[in-house]
Structure 1
């Protein structure tokens, strides 16, 4: 199975969040990539923050990979 794991690009610009402003590492995606790969799945992992990808660029890469399943990290709205 082809699986895309995505951490979208984001910014605190305009945010009222006063907590930690450092990027949160998507460790769950790293673990998932290792587990899926060990089971023989083809995995594409994209980290918009680390790779400095726009969300449009991420969407293009995911479309080009044509996964059967896509996982996108999310955060509660209180962070923004």
Structure 2
């Protein structure tokens, strides 16, 4: 006759419980997720601006916004020496 074996609790975790990492905090999220994503976006935008590559075409209708755009593009040209 067999011996009684108590039921085994199965974890819903896919990883071994002994190798599970602790959850990361807010600072980890800021320094390793948010800041790298922001830097990547700025790097892509700077690359597009320097090389004249455009993903979308913008038609500016408002004259005030158009004048601001022209002023900032002039400042960029002065700053980059172009």
Q: TM-score range by the shorter chain?
A: under 0.3
Name the structure where helix makes up a greater proportion of residues.
2
TM-score by length of 1: 0.26
Higher RCO, 1 or 2 (CA under 8 Å, sep at least 6)? Answer: 1
Higher Cα Rg, which structure: 2
Name the structure where strand makes up a greater proportion of residues.
1
